[in-house]
Amino acid sequence: PISADGTTELGDTLGGEDHEFELAETRVALGPALAMLDEREQKILTLRFYGNLTQSQIADQVGISQMHVSRLLTKALTKLRTQLASETI
């Protein structure tokens, strides 16, 4: 017991649920999965999810149509999902 009244033990004060811990494995696997994408797919994903740019803004930067950006995003995300799913099997 660590409290004056003897009702609290040291184990009661240590640790707790860390919801971010569940994502740790995915974060570790994401790096190699991203490396499997070609340079343009990596750039488009980076601009979309880290730069928070719209598909139209990405299209202007990359020099392709917004529709092509949409297709490339879909293709790249499918590759990532497939790669991450194969690593968890």
Decide if pLDDT at 88 tops 70: no
Decide if pLDDT at 24 tops 90: no
For residue 10, what pLDDT band results from cuts at 50, 70 and 90?
confident
pLDDT > 70 fraction of the chain, expressed in percent and rounded: 98
Residue where the block lists tokens 């999902």: 81
* Average pLDDT score over residue span 19-36: 86
Distances (CA, A) of 67 to 6, 19, 49: 66, 36, 17
| Percentage helix, strand, coil for the chain under 3-state DSSP, each rounded to 5 | 70, 0, 30
Decide if pLDDT at 68 tops 70: yes
